[in-house]
Chain A
Amino acid sequence: MKPPLPDIEKPPACCRGGLFSSFLPLALFGLLCFAWPRVANGDIFAVQWPWVPSLDLDLAFRLDGLGLLFGLIITMTGFFVCLYASSYMAGHQHLGRFFLYLHGFMLAMLGIVLSDNLLLLFVFWEATTLLSFLLIGFDHEKKTARENARQALLITGGGGLFLLMGILLLKTCGAGMTMSLLADSGDLIRSHALYPAVFICILVGAMTKSAQVPFHFWLPNAMTAPTPISAFLHAATMVKAGIYLLMRFHPVLGGTSLWMGTLVVIGGATALWGAVQALAPCDLKRILAYTTLMALGILTLFLGGKNVLSLTAAATFLMVHALYKAALFLAVGSIDHQTGTRDLAHLGGLLKQMPLTALAVAAATMSMAGFPLFFGFIGKEIMYEGALAEEMFPAFATGATLISNALMTAVAAIILITPFLQKPPQNMQAVQEAPWTMRLGPAVMGTVGIIFGIIPEWVSANLVQPAVFSIHPDRADIRLAFFHGINLPLFLSILTLALGSLIYRYRILLRHGVETFVQRSWITTPELYQRALDGFLSLAGGFTKKIQNGSLHFYLFVTIFTMVAAVGWPWICHFPAALVLPEIVGPHIAFGLFAFILASTGVVVTARKRLSAIGGLAGVGSGVALIFLVFGAPDIALTQLLVETLTVIFVSLVLLRLPPMDTVTKRPYSRTIKDAGLSLGAGLVLTTVLMGVLQVPLDRTLTAFFENHAYIAAHGRNIVNVILVDFRSLDTLGEICVVVLAAWAAVTLIRRHKEG
């Protein structure tokens, strides 16, 4: 995918608005740094405002060690991504929109990791889902972008609904909505009969967001987004939201064999599947996407542990991964931006042309492969310690970690060696180094990866331990260290590097193997997703064709039939013992009016010309208006008469344009009978219902109230109008909104018909 180019010849190197927009994440990062020392000492910052108290929904925010760790990652990556995008996206026509979405996403992400109320967390969770939909589909003119955005939305959005269910089930279990107090009721929840349901709902929410097998396939597809977005959403932040959720719920739901077994198995499967698939693609971004799957799987696997060691491994690897993955994504984007391709087959020899980017990539990939002196090495050591300490399936966990780490080492070598050191393909043109805005992020993150690798004790005390302590009751002192002594983890680290180089040696053979395996697999979840989506769409299409077939006659028939059935059925069920014909009182002229209405109806039904049918219709309407007048309701009579007049005008404007009635093909006889039956049924139901109503005495409470209050409270003598504009004015406001909207719709339809 080429970066979007504007029409002008040379795009600007960098847009100032983008530079400006990177101040917000930088300021937030600074703010978090300001709070950092106190949080590292165990202090907690919390604020709370009521929002919807009736739903237990408060604007409650809380900054503890875990929130700080995530917050620092989010704002730091956010800053570099904004800076990077100011060059990468320069000249794009929707820059404002881009930065709006990006900032919105970052704030929503911060909202997730800082909110202390479960429902508030859900609100932010959904916000990230929606914003990621907009960001993945940012190049909305491309079909694949739209489809992949929809896929991500359906999967993560569906998972969000599970999360909501889980939260509501938690409430049923007797837990409050305040997250920091949830851990106190952990024992109660774990022993509750609903615990498995809560666990599954929360787990599905986390699995969809963090792309765990079998919901993993949206993540590689989401790579259609512009690279800064992929770096931000799909490497460092959004996909980590599920991990964050599992971390937060660890003290509440964790520790049971259900939790441990499920997480270890799912995490291990995701890690292996992601790592194996990372070998296959030629597209650099897709490779990175699969390695992200591996990382997410490993994180889930470690969260399956109950002990501090596993959690420390998760928190450490979270940082390791965020640092090297964001750097690599941005660097790959730079390669793409400068050369115009991300395809490994068309790249090579970039070391001389892009030396600074090459250096950053080297630092990041070394950390990814886990060489000593890099932060990745520290991460790998603690990973093996954590895997060996797992309560459930430690052998599987260690094996999965070992194999996926070895594969990561090989993939790191591919990413570093192929584009930078390999001999360039013949047709490759000379390229320039990326601008500084695009180099700064990878360079800084790569450097931090080295610094953290040299001072692991500091990282451990200031970042990892505060995070782990906020989700684990045991304050076991586990420190990251450069050298742990000669033990099993060290041996496994060496084995990883050896295996990795072996895999790199036979990578082409393995690539073919993976490709054939993927092709031959019996049924994959992406296919299942596609089938379900197609089925759903064709079902909806068929349904729409049935009920929106364009025949006005059909619509009216269904509407009236529904009304008759809905009123008639309960009426028959509760039919009174006897129906008495009410005593008819009133002036004799009323009888004349009834006869007039009846005659007009006859004219409408039997008319052979449209004009006479319209005339009959007008007769019915004015007859009804006159009846209102005769029985003492002048206001309604006036309105009815005016409505009738206008209706007649409108109906004639429309109907007189149609071809004359006698030229239209006659309706079949059976249809006439059906219509007549329905009309008579409607008349019968309404008449008998009215007779039933008249048998009970009329309740005049409301009438009396309005008669007494209309003038005193509302200074009006016309009760009907006073009700409309004063007592029930909110209803009237709603009604005129409907009138205006309906007119709008009608005008649109008329115009479209005329243009078409």
Chain B
Amino acid sequence: MQSVILKTATHLMVGLMLVFAVYVLLRGHHEPGGGFSAALLAGTAFALFAITEGADQVRRAIRIRPATMAMTGLAMAMAAGLPALFTGTPFLTGIWWHGNGFSVGTPLIFDMGVFLAVLGAILSILLALEEN
């Protein structure tokens, strides 16, 4: 779409939206947010980018194919369930490491998997629609 205002605004917004998406992803465990919302946010950012610059630019920006991204996400989400099996608990039970003042656990990996899977799905449809 040929619009200077849209183009300029997009260039500023896309980066901000993507950073915000990462923030939403990470804060999700305690505050509103999470992998799914973050993926929607990032998807909207890329949609904006695709409308102004075209699908090819988006492809170049994300570097990997959307389908690969989605599959990586699924694999990550499944892999996040595996450590539980070694401790004798059911598949996908959360395993946590408590560090100095913060905790990290397999649910975070799982949430990142959700993020990638949903974003990959959104991007593949978006790019297929935008491409002519």
A residues apposed to B, CB below 8 Å: 634-635, 637-639, 642-643, 645-646, 649-650, 653-654, 714-718, 720-722, 724-726, 729-730, 732-733, 736-737, 739-740, 742-744, 746-747, 750-751, 754
Indicate whether A729 sits within 8 Å of B110 (C-beta atoms), given known contacts A635-B32, A740-B117.
yes
Indicate whether A726 sits within 8 Å of B94 (C-beta atoms), given known contacts A715-B103, A721-B29, A750-B129.
yes
Across the interface, A638 reaches (CB within 8 A) one of B32, B51, B113, namely B32
Alpha-carbon distance A716/B130, docked complex (angstroms): 39
Contacts of A653 in B (CB 8 A): 126, 129-130
Across the interface, A725 reaches (CB within 8 A) one of B35, B128, B131, namely B35
Over the window 79-113 of chain B, the binary record of Cβ atoms lying under 8 Å from chain A Cβ atoms (1 yes, 0 no) is 00100000000011010100000010101001101
Tell whether, in the assembled complex, residue A639 and residue B40 are in contact, meaning their CB atoms are under 8 Å apart: yes
- CB B96 to nearest CB in A, in angstroms, measures 6
Alpha-carbon distance A724/B113, docked complex (angstroms): 12
Tell whether, in the assembled complex, residue A740 and residue B70 are in contact, meaning their CB atoms are under 8 Å apart: yes
Tell whether, in the assembled complex, residue A725 and residue B74 are in contact, meaning their CB atoms are under 8 Å apart: no
Tell whether, in the assembled complex, residue A639 and residue B36 are in contact, meaning their CB atoms are under 8 Å apart: yes
Indicate whether A743 sits within 8 Å of B28 (C-beta atoms), given known contacts A643-B40, A733-B78, A736-B74.
no
- CB A48 to nearest CB in B, in angstroms, measures 28
Indicate whether A718 sits within 8 Å of B126 (C-beta atoms), given known contacts A649-B47, A725-B107, A739-B117.
no
B residues apposed to A, CB below 8 Å: 28-37, 40-41, 43-44, 47, 51, 67, 70-71, 73-74, 77-78, 81, 91-92, 94, 96, 103, 105, 107, 110-111, 113-114, 117-118, 120-122, 124-126, 128-132
Tell whether, in the assembled complex, residue B47 and residue A740 are in contact, meaning their CB atoms are under 8 Å apart: no
Tell whether, in the assembled complex, residue B94 and residue A646 are in contact, meaning their CB atoms are under 8 Å apart: no
Across the interface, A740 reaches (CB within 8 A) one of B30, B33, B71, namely B71
Tell whether, in the assembled complex, residue B120 and residue A743 are in contact, meaning their CB atoms are under 8 Å apart: yes
Contacts of B129 in A (CB 8 A): 650, 653-654, 750
The 4 closest A-B pairs by CB, nearest first: A743-B121, A642-B40, A716-B29, A736-B117
Alpha-carbon distance A638/B128, docked complex (angstroms): 27
Contacts of A717 in B (CB 8 A): 29-31
Contacts of B41 in A (CB 8 A): 642
Tell whether, in the assembled complex, residue B37 and residue A737 are in contact, meaning their CB atoms are under 8 Å apart: no
Tell whether, in the assembled complex, residue B125 and residue A726 are in contact, meaning their CB atoms are under 8 Å apart: no
Tell whether, in the assembled complex, residue A733 and residue B70 are in contact, meaning their CB atoms are under 8 Å apart: no
- CB A658 to nearest CB in B, in angstroms, measures 13
Alpha-carbon distance A746/B36, docked complex (angstroms): 19
Indicate whether A747 sits within 8 Å of B71 (C-beta atoms), given known contacts A724-B36, A725-B114.
no
Tell whether, in the assembled complex, residue B28 and residue A649 are in contact, meaning their CB atoms are under 8 Å apart: no
Across the interface, B111 reaches (CB within 8 A) one of A720, A725, A730, A739, namely A725
Alpha-carbon distance A372/B73, docked complex (angstroms): 74
Additional A-B contacts beyond A718-B29, A736-B118 (8; CB < 8 A): A639-B40, A646-B43, A654-B129, A720-B32, A721-B29, A725-B107, A726-B107, A740-B121
Alpha-carbon distance A733/B29, docked complex (angstroms): 17
Tell whether, in the assembled complex, residue B105 and residue A715 are in contact, meaning their CB atoms are under 8 Å apart: yes
Q: Which residue of A lies closest to B113 (CB)?
A: A736
Alpha-carbon distance A717/B30, docked complex (angstroms): 4
Alpha-carbon distance A733/B77, docked complex (angstroms): 7
Alpha-carbon distance A715/B111, docked complex (angstroms): 14
Contacts of A635 in B (CB 8 A): 32-34, 37
Of residues A639, A717, A722, A736, which shows the largest number of chain B Cβ atoms within 10 Å of its Cβ? Answer: A736
Can you give 10 contacting A-B residue pairs, CB < 8 Å?
A: A646-B40, A646-B43, A650-B125, A716-B107, A733-B77, A736-B113, A736-B118, A740-B71, A740-B73, A746-B125
Alpha-carbon distance A715/B30, docked complex (angstroms): 9
Contacts of B28 in A (CB 8 A): 718, 721, 725
Tell whether, in the assembled complex, residue A718 and residue B121 are in contact, meaning their CB atoms are under 8 Å apart: no
Q: Which residue of B lies closest to A727 (CB)?
A: B94
Q: Which residue of B lies closest to A730 (CB)?
A: B92
Of residues B29, B44, B74, B114, which shows the largest number of chain A Cβ atoms within 10 Å of its Cβ? Answer: B29
Tell whether, in the assembled complex, residue A743 and residue B124 are in contact, meaning their CB atoms are under 8 Å apart: yes
Alpha-carbon distance A645/B47, docked complex (angstroms): 10
Alpha-carbon distance A59/B105, docked complex (angstroms): 40
Contacts of A637 in B (CB 8 A): 32
Tell whether, in the assembled complex, residue B32 and residue A724 are in contact, meaning their CB atoms are under 8 Å apart: no
Alpha-carbon distance A441/B51, docked complex (angstroms): 70
